[in-house]
Amino acid sequence: DGGITQSPKYLFRKEGQNVTLSCEQNLNHDAMYWYRQDPGQGLRLIYYSQIVNDFQKGDIAEGYSVSREKKESFPLTVTSAQKNPTAFYLCASSIIGQGNEKLFFGSGTQLSVL
Binding interface with other proteins (CB under 8 A): 4, 6, 31, 33, 35, 40-45, 48, 50, 56, 58-59, 88, 90, 92, 94, 96-108, 110
- Min dist CB 80 to other proteins, Å, is 26
Of residues 80 and 103, the one with the C-beta less far from other proteins? 103
Contact by Cβ (8 Å): 80, 73? no
Residue (22 or 104) nearer to other proteins, CB:
104
Q: Which 8-state DSSP code applies to residue 102?
A: P
The distance of closest approach from Cβ of residue 87 to other proteins in the complex, given in angstroms and rounded to an integer, is 12
Select 50 or 65, whichever has its Cβ closest to other proteins. Answer: 50
Residue 41 or 112: the one with the smaller Cβ distance to other proteins is 41
In the complex, least distance from residue 81 CB atom to other proteins, rounded to whole angstroms:
22
What's at 100, amino acid-wise?
A: N
Sorted by sequence, the CB contacts under 8 Å of residue 14 that are 6+ apart come out as 113, 114
d(Cα 10, Cα 30) in Å, to the nearest integer? 27
Tell me how far the alpha carbon of residue 63 is from its chain's centroid: 13
User: Nearest to residue 88, comparing CAs of 31, 33, 25, 44?
Assistant: 44
CB of 82 to other proteins, least distance (A): 20
